[in-house]
Amino acid sequence: MPTIWLFAIVLVTGLAGFALARGRAVASAGGDTRVMHSRPLYHGLNGLLTAMLPALGLLVAWLILQPVLLDRAVVGAIPPEVLEDGAARSLVMADVRRVADGLDAAIAAGVATPEGLAALTAEDDVRGLLGQAGVALGSDVSPYVLEAARDMRATAATLRVVMWVAVLAVLAIGLGVALKRSHADYRARNFVERGVLVLLVAAASIAVLTTVGIVASMLFETVNFFSQYPASSFFFSTNWDPSFSGRGGGSELGIVPLLWGTLYISFIALLVAVPVGLLAAIYLSEFASKRMRSVAKPVIEVLAGIPTIVYGLFALITVGPLLRDAIASPLGLGNSASSVMTAGLVMGIMLIPFVSSLSDDIINAVPQAMRDGSFGLGATHAETIRQVILPAALPGIVGAVLLAASRAIGETMIVVLGAGAAAKLSLNPFEAMTTVTVKIVSQLTGDTDFASPETLVAFALGLTLFVITLGLNVLALYIVRTYREQYE
Amino acid sequence: MTDATASGAPATAPANSLMAPDARTARRNAAEKRFRAYGLGAIAVAFGALVVLLLSILSNGLGAFTQAKLSFPVTLQAEQVAEAEGALLKTSAYKAMLQEALAAYLAEQGTDVDAEVAISLLSDEAAATLREFALANADRYGEPVPFTILANGRIDGFFKGRVTYESAELDRNVSPEQLRAAESLRDAGVLTAGFNWSFITAPDASDNRVEAAGLGVAMLGSLYMMLVVLVLALPIGVAASIYLEEFAPQNRLTDLIEVNISNLAAVPSIVFGILGLAIFINWAGLPQSAPIVGGLVLTLMTLPTIIIATRAALKAVPPSIRDAALGLGASKMQSVFHHVLPLAMPGILTGTIIGLAQALGETAPLLLIGMVAFVREYPDAPPEGLFDPASALPVQIYNWTQRADPGFFERASGAIIVLLLFLLVMNLTAIFLRRRFERRW
């Protein structure tokens, strides 16, 4: 029976626990809810939580751990010389998993019987058999893979039975405990509230788990990558030239040209976004009438709500060709529609609302007394802004610019569609260049081989990107926070 | 005395008067005016960019909603269908049937267009469409059935101005002769342009069938992902915010969680894609291209948005509400769940909708978890359908920009219009909720 039934059984038992525990508690009070410690609802919830949560937790934990256990159990069937290479190991295991799934599919499709599979050897046409079941294999099945796959199926079947028994047992125990406790004097509310608090804490720690997951997933594969490719060439080589011929040999994976493209594009984007966003924020918070503010502010913020894929398409079909035909080609600077300038300009537009709404908050946080003092000394409005408000708001604005820079560096779709794919170290802004994010996408989409440095490099790029943006964010938040304290 | 000084003074007019501004004041005032103009200019630039962006998308994309079609009746015969089903190349047998029917209809209409040319105007999908109909409607053999079949992408492009006689000379997919035939068929009323429902409902189509490509699978996939995000992110986000805002003690752990959440909000979206690929697909073994994986990744991305909005909404509920509940004997948990949470609900829902809108437009992480795959099958109904391969609206747009036929750019822009309409509706709902239900204390 599929696992979803087990989920259903757990849920239904939980609901039954609710009704039973509530009924028992009320009955033990002789139907008079006033003499009970907790209201009947809490007794019901106590039944629900005590019966369901442990079983549900076990089930989820089991499902998460099962793949690891399976791999460990099956590795024994594979000759050790195949496993020596850390990279080949994951390949073989992927093969085994695919064959095992294929055997399952073959039985489900009715092209094979369990007895037939037991008698199957590698000399038989396993590939053809799985092909009939709709599972296409890249190559013929080697004997040890078939053996391991069969092992895997057997272990999986045993594990499934054990899981059913264990989950049902925990469920029964939970229900029993809940019912035993259901009594008019039982402090069900306190118990339920403690349980709910635990759930709340668990929800809050998902954020931490996500960060741990991000760092762990990238760190693990990055270490893998550096065991196959020297770190010094990754960080200092000025050449990006992954070979497509297969594993190892001949790839040059230097991050320098990618970082250069990323920073160049981000720089142009900030060159557009910072002046426009800042001046717009100053005008709206200092000069504009209330009515204009109520119209202009939401309209600028619409720019922030537009998905980046839309900006990407805008760069690709409108801005790129326009820049090429109007500026780049006549001046002889290049004839590529995708260029640093295209991506930078469009990204700048995307960042305008980001800069303007952050600066707006910061300018509004400057105390009115400072403005009044400046006006009292006879300064004009513009002089007040330039010489009093902006210096006072400067740390906050620097923080906003840093946050915008981190956005620009991590932006993907605009550069994928607008910047091009050639890794180059050049100063010409009308030339196509590429960025870290573009290369992450191109190395991880399509046919990927998680054993080759050409694929694994994406994780190293991702980790670099994560560290850079995290550093910028922390720095920005630190600056903004210390600045705020001055006026509060 | 006083008169004398008064009469003598005008000879030496004061060096500066409030009435006549001096050069320095004029300069300062001009600077003031310039400064204002810069500000207005900046706002104009932002407005202009928005207008140009929207106009460019609209002008490129509106064409995707209309499509040239040919309508003519086809009479299917049971024996013909049986013969075609027995043939080696089934679709070409059906194509022959279509050509026969079209020739008969053209002769009846009295046009001089050759049926051989006319059939070449049809989409490559036509024969398959006819076959599908024939197999599903055995009861309608023998009677003329009106058929509306899409014209192929080049002919459609011709009526939208993308293809001209000059470009057809150079294009091996279309000839000027076909364009002339298309024009005379249009004059005869056989070839018409109408609203293109199949763009909304049909699945994606292969590279040389641009006319048949639609958003059906992509929209369904996006819908499934939004369901996953809603079911997971809303309860988890609200629970996390309640803990942080109402129960968490001021200690290092709480600080750690808070710093984490604000940092997660600023992590590049592509990094979440790497997380999804490494954890959900490579480690947990979930299928590629499945809405469940996309939904999980987007949930993690949306959580910070929802948590930040929910905390703001909880903070806005005045302490007097909590105090009153506690004073009447409610427990802390009761005061939160019975009083604070319902009052904060409009703010929470607004934040959730905005988070969903962000998630709907997110592309980069979905590219990494295999949503770029070419999917023509509609996923099943949830929950099994969550594990079927599907596409997503923004990824479909990206996918179309990578194709060779320029007709796909029009499709991509059209898909963006659909996406923006969804976002508009979601944001308007959020604004409505805020205006209608939010209380000012």
Q: Tell me which of A71, A214, A415 to substitute to probe the interface with B (most B C-beta atoms closer than 10 Å).
A: A214
Of residues B128 and A133, the one with the higher pLDDT is: B128
Task: Determine the pLDDT at residue A484.
Answer: 66
Q: Does residue A438 carry a pLDDT above 70? A: yes
DSSP B19: S
How far is residue A397's CA from residue A390's CA, in Å, rounded to a whole number?
8
Question: Would you call B232 an interface residue with chain A, using a CB distance cutoff of 8 Å?
Answer: no
Residues A316-320: what's their mean pLDDT? 90
Same domain, B148 and B242: no
Residue with the bigger pLDDT between B192 and A316: it is: A316
Question: Does the pLDDT value for residue A85 go beyond 60?
Answer: no
Task: Round to whole Å and give the CA distance between A221 and A458.
Answer: 9
B residues 172..231 contacting A (CB < 8 A): none
Q: 3-state class of A110 per DSSP?
A: coil
Sign of CA dihedral A309, A313, A315, A318: negative
> What is the Rg, in whole angstroms, of the alpha carbon atoms belonging to chain B?
33
Task: Average the pLDDT over each of A112-126, A305-319, B384-398 and give the range with the smallest value.
Answer: A112-126
* pLDDT greater than 80 at residue A413: yes
Flag if A352 and B46 touch (Cβ within 8 Å). Answer: yes
| DSSP-based three-state secondary structure for B137 | coil
B8 pLDDT higher than 50: no
C-alpha span between A359 and A401 (Å, rounded): 9
Dist. CA A149–CA A122, nearest whole Å: 12
A206 and B236 in contact by Cβ < 8 A?
A: yes
Has residue B432 been placed in a domain?
yes
**pLDDT value at residue B9:** 47
Query: B139: closest CA among B83, B78, B74?
Result: B78
Report the alpha-carbon distance of residue B346 to residue A239 in Å, rounded. Answer: 54
DSSP characters for A354-401? HHHHHHHHHHHHS-HHHHHHHHHTT--HHHHIIIIIHHHHHHHHHHHH
List, for residues A258-314, the tens digit of each pLDDT value.
999 999 999 999 999 999 999 999 999 989 999 998 889 888 888 888 999 999 999
pLDDT at residue number A486? 62
- The pLDDT confidence band at residue B5, using thresholds 50, 70 and 90, is very low
Q: For residue B163, give the nearest of B395, B155, A27, A84 by alpha carbon.
A: B155
What confidence category does residue B47 fall into, taking pLDDT thresholds of 50, 70 and 90?
very high
Which residues on chain A are in Cβ contact (under 8 Å) with B428? none
Token look-up 């003598």 returns B8
Identify the residue whose tokens are 């919830």.
A45
For A461, name the nearest residue in chain B, comparing CA atoms only.
B271
Which residues on chain B are in Cβ contact (under 8 Å) with A210? 260, 264, 275, 300, 303
C-alpha distance from residue A473 to each of A409, A410, B362 (Å)? 12, 12, 21
Distance CA B279, CA B285 (A): 8
Neighbouring CB atoms inside 10 A of A298's CB total 11
Determine, yes or no, domain membership for B10.
Answer: no
Largest alpha-carbon pair distance within chain A?
Answer: 98
From the CA atom positions of chain A, what is the Rg in Å? 31
Contacts (Cβ under 8 Å, ≥6 apart) of A91: A449, A451
DSSP state of B243: I
Question: Distance, in angstroms, between A444 CA and closest chain B CA?
Answer: 6
Q: What is the mean pLDDT of residues A204-227?
A: 89
Q: Is B312 left (phi over 0), alpha (psi -120 to 50) or beta?
A: alpha
Question: Distance between CA atoms of A320 and A430, rounded to whole angstroms?
Answer: 10
According to DSSP, the β-strands at B144-150 and B66-75 are antiparallel
How many Å lie between the alpha carbon of A322 and the closest alpha carbon of chain B? 12
Residue with tokens 């697909």: B281
Alpha helices in B276-330, H assignment, sequence order: 291-316, 319-327
Q: Could you tell me the sign of the dihedral formed by the alpha carbons of B96, B101, B104, B108, in that order?
A: negative
The verdict on residue B292 lying in a domain is yes
Q: In this structure, what are the phi and psi dihedrals at residue B191, rounded to the nearest 5 degrees?
A: -100, 120
Give the model's confidence band at B1: pLDDT under 50 very low, under 70 low, under 90 confident, else very high. Answer: very low
**Which residue in A196, A287, A305 is closest to B39 by CB distance?**
A287
For residue B78, give how far its alpha carbon lies from the nearest alpha carbon of chain A (Å): 32
Sheet containing B66-75: order of strands:
B144-150, B66-75, B191-195
Task: Give A211's strand partners.
Answer: none
Per-residue pLDDT, A465:
93
> Average pLDDT, stretch A417-423?
86
Please tell me whether residues B181 and B223 are part of one structural domain. no
The pLDDT tens digits of the residues spanning A132-160 come to 766 666 666 777 777 788 888 888 888 88
Closest to A271 in 3D by CA, of A400, A420, A361, A405: A405
Same domain, B75 and B181: yes
| Chain A residues within an 8 Å CB radius of B383 | 4
pLDDT at residue A82 greater than cutoff 70: no
Whether B363 and B404 share a structural domain: yes
Domain membership flag for residue B58: no
- The span from the CA of B149 to the CA of B154, in Å, is 15
Across the interface, whether the CB atoms of B43 and A207 are under 8 A apart is answered no
Residues of B in contact with A300 (CB under 8 A): 43, 46-47, 50
* Residue among B39, B383, B413 minimizing CB distance to A282: B39
Among A307, A356, A382, select the one facing B32 at the smallest CB separation. A382
3 state DSSP class of B144 = strand
Statement: residue B203 has pLDDT above 80: yes
How do residues B142-173 score in pLDDT, each as one tens digit? 778 887 888 888 888 888 877 888 887 777 77
Read off the pLDDT of residues A442-478 as tens digits, 9 standing for 90 and up. Answer: 888 877 777 788 888 899 999 999 999 999 988 988 8
Of B163, B195, B227, the last residue of a domain is B195
Asked if residue B142 and residue B228 are part of one domain, the reply reads: no
| Same domain for B335 and B305 | yes
Q: Contact, B94 vs B172, CB < 8 A? A: no
Residue A32: is its pLDDT beyond 70? yes
Residue B102 has pLDDT above 70, yes or no: yes
Alpha-carbon distance A275 to nearest alpha carbon in chain B (angstroms): 8
Euclidean distance between CA atoms B164 and B205, whole angstroms: 24
Query: Which range of residues forms the domain containing residue B239?
Result: 216-437
CA B220 to each of CA B224, B371, B383, B429: distance values in angstroms, whole numbers, following the listed order: 6, 13, 13, 21
What CA–CA distance (Å, rounded) separates A335 from A341?
A: 12
Pairing of the two strands A252-253 and B144-150: unpaired
Per-residue model confidence (pLDDT) at position B336: 94
A positions 249-268 inside 8 Å of B (CB)? none
Q: Are strands B191-195 and B66-75 parallel, antiparallel or unpaired?
A: antiparallel
Measured between alpha carbons, how far is B139 from B237 in angstroms, rounded to an integer? 55
Q: CA of B225, closest CA in chain A: separation in Å? A: 16
Assess whether B278 and B165 both reside in one domain.
no
Residues B276, B191 share a domain:
no
The half-sphere exposure of B358 on its side-chain side, counting CA atoms within 13 A, is 21
Q: Are residues B175 and B319 in the same domain?
A: no
Q: Tell me if B56 is assigned to some domain.
A: no
Give the three-state DSSP class for A252.
Answer: strand
Long-range contacts formed by B179-182: CB under 8 A, 24+ apart: B179/B155, B181/B113, B181/B114, B181/B117, B181/B118, B181/B121, B182/B68, B182/B121, B182/B151, B182/B155, B182/B158
B381 at A interface, C-beta within 8 A: no
Residues 293-322 of B with CB under 8 A from A: 300, 303-304, 307
Structurally, how many domains does chain B consist of? Answer: 2
Say if the Cβ atoms of A204 and B43 lie within 8 Å: no
Residue A50 has pLDDT above 60, yes or no: yes
Own/partner long-range contacts of B50-57 (Cβ < 8 Å, ≥24 apart)? B50/A299, B50/A300, B50/A302, B50/A303, B52/A318, B53/A306, B53/A310, B53/A311, B53/A314, B53/A349, B56/A314, B56/A317, B56/A318, B57/A310, B57/A313, B57/A314, B57/B413, B57/B416, B57/B417, B57/B420
Residue B433 sits in a domain of what CATH number?
Answer: 1.10.3720.10
From chain A residues 278-307, the ones with a CB under 8 A of any chain B CB are: 278-280, 282-284, 286-287, 296, 299-300, 302-303, 305-307
The closest of B253, B266, B300 to A471, measured between CA atoms, is B266
Contact B57 A349 (CB under 8 A): no
How many Å apart are CA A141 and CA B197, to the nearest integer?
Answer: 47
B89 and B234 fall within a common domain: no
- pLDDT tens digits along A92-104: 777 777 777 777 7
Q: Is residue B29 part of a domain?
A: no
Q: What is the per-residue pLDDT for B14?
A: 59
The verdict on B266 and B384 lying in the same domain is yes
Residue A287 CB-density burial (10 A; 0-12 exposed, 13-18 middle, 19+ buried): middle
Q: Which of residues 427-446 of A touch B (CB under 8 A)?
A: 437, 440-441, 444-445
Cβ of B257 and A206 within 8 Å? no
Smallest CA-to-CA distance from A188 within A322, A344, A49 is with A49
CB A285 within 8 A of CB A389: no
Q: Would you say how long chain B is, in residues?
A: 441
This complex has an ipTM of 0.87
Tell me whether residue B143 is in a domain.
yes
Range list of H helices, B110-175: 115-120, 126-136, 153-159, 165-170
Domains in chain A, start-ordered, CATH in brackets? 3-211 (no CATH), 252-487 (1.10.3720.10)
Mean pLDDT of the A189-211 span: 90
CB count, 10 Å around CB of A220? 13
Chain B residues closer than 8 Å to A462 by CB: 270-271, 274
The amino acid sitting at A411 is E
pLDDT band at B72 (very low <50, low <70, confident <90, very high): confident
Q: Is residue B120 located within the same domain as residue B173?
A: yes
Tell me which of B237 and A131 has the higher pLDDT. Answer: B237
CA distance, residue A280 to nearest chain B CA (Å): 5
d(CA A327, CA A329): 6
Q: Smallest CA–CA separation between B349 and chain A, in Å?
A: 17
Q: Which of A117-126, A368-377, B38-47 has the lowest mean pLDDT?
A: A117-126
Asked, for residue B381, whether it belongs to a domain, the answer is yes
Contacts of A271 (CB under 8 A, 6+ apart): A344, A348
Cβ pairs A/B, distance under 8 A = 254
Residue B73 has φ and ψ, to the nearest 5°, of: -85, 145
Q: Residues B50, B43: contact at Cβ < 8 Å?
A: no
Tell me: the pLDDT tens digits for A330-360?
Answer: 888 878 888 899 999 999 999 999 999 989 8
Angle at Cα A45 formed by Cα A39 and Cα A51, nearest 5°?
A: 140
Q: Measured between CB atoms, which of B244, B270, B398 is closest to A204?
A: B244
Q: Are B317 and B340 in contact (CB under 8 A)?
A: yes
